[in-house]
Structure 1
Amino acid sequence: MTPAPMDAGAPSSRPAAVEVRHLRALVAVAEEGTFTDAAIALRTSQASVSRLVAALERELGVRLVRRTPRGATLTGAGQAVVVRARRVLGDVAAMVRVAERGEDGEGTRREVRIGYAWSALGRWTTVLQRRWAAEQPGSVLVFVQVNTPTAGLLEREADVAVTRRQLDPRRFATAVVGTESRWAAVAADHPFARRRGVRLGDFTGQTVGIDARTGTTTQDLWPPDAAPAATRDTHSVDEWLTLIAAGQAVGLTSQATTFQHPRPGVVYRPVLDADPVPVRLAWWRDEPARWIEDLVRMVTELYREAG
């Protein structure tokens, strides 16, 4: 005889088979607010995220997420589970770091992973790696590109992140290590390409490519009466550069991009009257490491040397 299906709200007599991937999917939905954005953050499909959350709900026997036309919201049970899921993911990430990156009792780590969404540290990226290797024998800096708002911190793909946007101060500690000027990115045959520099007012009437999730360009840079004609949303620096090279938009970015991403068909010009972009290093507030102070000092010195 086929057994009757178990009621979703009834307790199960067997232990729940909860997996780390289930927890990652739930936390991503909680952080991003939609299944679509959670899928982008996890670099998977929306259907996969939905299946993982549904599987977790079946294992726990309780509804965790409400699907709404505007996105997804956590139920009361979902909020409680997410708090514990973050702790579990943090413990798992710490275990992996100790095993794979060689952290010892002195707080020394053979490999430090620095996440970035777009441009790392520009011209200073490889300079920093060499200085670190010279001052921290046996340890290496590895830069990893993760195009999410926390540049890999939330996803536990990075130990520290380079960010040009302020992160949630309740969860992440940050240090401003320098500033960068803003530059326009335009197609080689665009009129801006023939100038030595441009001004914010020159963008009036232009279509501007932006990355709303990780970029530094927002409508707030312009007064209401001098805003660009339109914006085009992009989801990676490669997509952004391709759009610009085709003449379908212009861009506004920090100086690091000009060093990190030279592209045939794209010309960079300084924006003469734009405020500089603060460059920050960020890390989990409750997981400070001894090497953080050395890293902040070293990066700050590099920006200071550049004047």
Structure 2
Amino acid sequence: MDLEAVRTFVAAAGAGQFQEAAAELAVTQQAVSKRIAALERTLGVRLFTRTPRGAELTIDGQAFLPHARELLRVAERAVESVRPGSRPLRVDVLASRSAASGLMRRFHRAHPEIELDVVTLFDIETATAAIRSGAIDASFRAVAAPGRPLPEDIESVWVLDEPLQLLTGPAHALVGARSVTLSQLAGHRIWMPGVVPGTEWAAYYDDLVAEFGVTIEATGPNFGSDALLDTIADTPALATFMGGNTRLVWPADHGLRRIPVTDPTPVYPHSLLWHRDNPHPALPILRAHLAATPDTTGTWAPDWALRRTASIKD
């Protein structure tokens, strides 16, 4: 059924005259007559009777009018459901306790009027596929790992360098250090069961190992952050890396300690990814909020990490 014809019928029924309906719709009276005639052919009934005073609804026209109005309301709701800005801005963060999650919390505090939907996807391939399909509007990732360039329609911009810290238990040999250098970590066992081969964070730690000779073990099942913290607290021979902006809470009797890593400070580069044709009006606001100028002095990141300032485009 032609919605324009239905819209014309409703306008004519309200005006009582085809000429007034034509003026309301900014079309000719002839166009109104043709649309009404086409709708009557579709329905197989007469909708109007011409009178000296204008056009009056027939009994079939009166029966059809409330349904015609509902058709137009449903059509408007359908259009509104996909209109840019009418739905939440959907952003992927790797984990709820990650630095990216903290960035989104600060964005929400700065712009409470913007409705958000925060999701967690596993790897960069899943995230870029979701961006390209429109399932999400943006994603926080480390890009681009060797041999895996981003698709040409995906834009990215650096937003944060997160310094790594060493996390030790109370009996670890380095627990009393104010800071440690990467060279001092040689010979110490860094346990990170969450490092999954093929992910962007695995590529990052592979380069860190190759550059500085540290030992990272990814053995054993990954039971999550709570189990990791329990093991580090109870095992003097193990330590782990964690992001300086990562929010973790552990029991006070664990005696865990975060120790800054220096000379240089390894930083994990977070970038924001989005589709270049994404029309969501909140996306430029998010990008402007995250805009930053990187200070790479005394830091280390892999050569493939994209660390450039934002160029905000409307």
Residue 131 of structure 1 deviates from its aligned partner by 0.9
Q: Report percent identity of matched pairs.
A: 16
Matched, 1:244 2:232: yes
1:209-234 CA-to-partner distances (Å, cap 9, x unmatched) read 15132536513214577331744376
Distance 1:224-1:194 versus aligned 2 partners, 3 A rule: same
Q: Report the equivalent of 1:208.
A: 191
Residue 185 of structure 1 deviates from its aligned partner by 2.2
Matched, 1:276 2:255: no
**Aligned partner (choices 81, 91, 94) of residue 114 of structure 1:** 91
Matched, 1:179 2:161: yes
**Aligned partner (choices 191, 201, 205) of residue 218 of structure 1:** 205
Distance 1:221-1:287 versus aligned 2 partners, 3 A rule: same
For residues 262 and 302 of structure 1, the distance between their equivalents in structure 2, rounded to whole angstroms, comes to: 30
- TM-score, with normalisation over the residues of structure 2? 0.51
Q: Secondary structure at the match of 2:107?
A: helix
Higher-Rg structure is 2
**1:130-145 equivalences in 2 (<5 Å):** 130-133=109-112, 137=113, 139-145=114-120
Q: Report the equivalent of 2:124.
A: 149
Letter in 2 for 1:174: S
Q: Report the equivalent of 1:50.
A: none
Q: Report the equivalent of 2:15.
A: none
The answer for unaligned runs of 5 or more in structure 1 is 1-97
Distance 1:112-1:122 versus aligned 2 partners, 3 A rule: closer
Q: Report the equivalent of 2:214.
A: 227
Matched, 1:163 2:141: yes
Q: State the number of aligned residues.
A: 199
Residue 128 of structure 1 deviates from its aligned partner by 1.4
Q: Secondary structure at the match of 1:275?
A: strand
**1:30-45 equivalences in 2 (<5 Å):** none
For residues 195 and 230 of structure 2, the distance between their equivalents in structure 1, rounded to whole angstroms, comes to: 13
For residues 151 and 235 of structure 1, the distance between their equivalents in structure 2, rounded to whole angstroms, comes to: 20
Distance 1:270-1:125 versus aligned 2 partners, 3 A rule: farther
Q: Secondary structure at the match of 2:92?
A: strand
Distance 1:158-1:180 versus aligned 2 partners, 3 A rule: same
Could you tell me whether the CA contact under 8 Å between 1:200 and 1:222 is conserved in 2? no
Could you tell me whether the CA contact under 8 Å between 1:173 and 1:283 is conserved in 2? yes
Q: Report the equivalent of 2:106.
A: 127
1:259-306 CA-to-partner distances (Å, cap 9, x unmatched) read x223333432211122332221112345454432211110225999xx
Q: Which has the higher contact order (CA 8 A, sep 6+)?
A: 2
RMSD: 3.7
Residue 202 of structure 1 deviates from its aligned partner by 2.6
For residues 259 and 87 of structure 2, the distance between their equivalents in structure 1, rounded to whole angstroms, comes to: 39
Q: Report the equivalent of 1:254.
A: 243
Letter in 2 for 1:220: D
For residues 288 and 245 of structure 1, the distance between their equivalents in structure 2, rounded to whole angstroms, comes to: 48
Residue 184 of structure 1 deviates from its aligned partner by 1.6
The answer for unaligned runs of 5 or more in structure 2 is 1-76, 296-314
**Aligned partner (choices 158, 176, 189) of residue 194 of structure 1:** 176
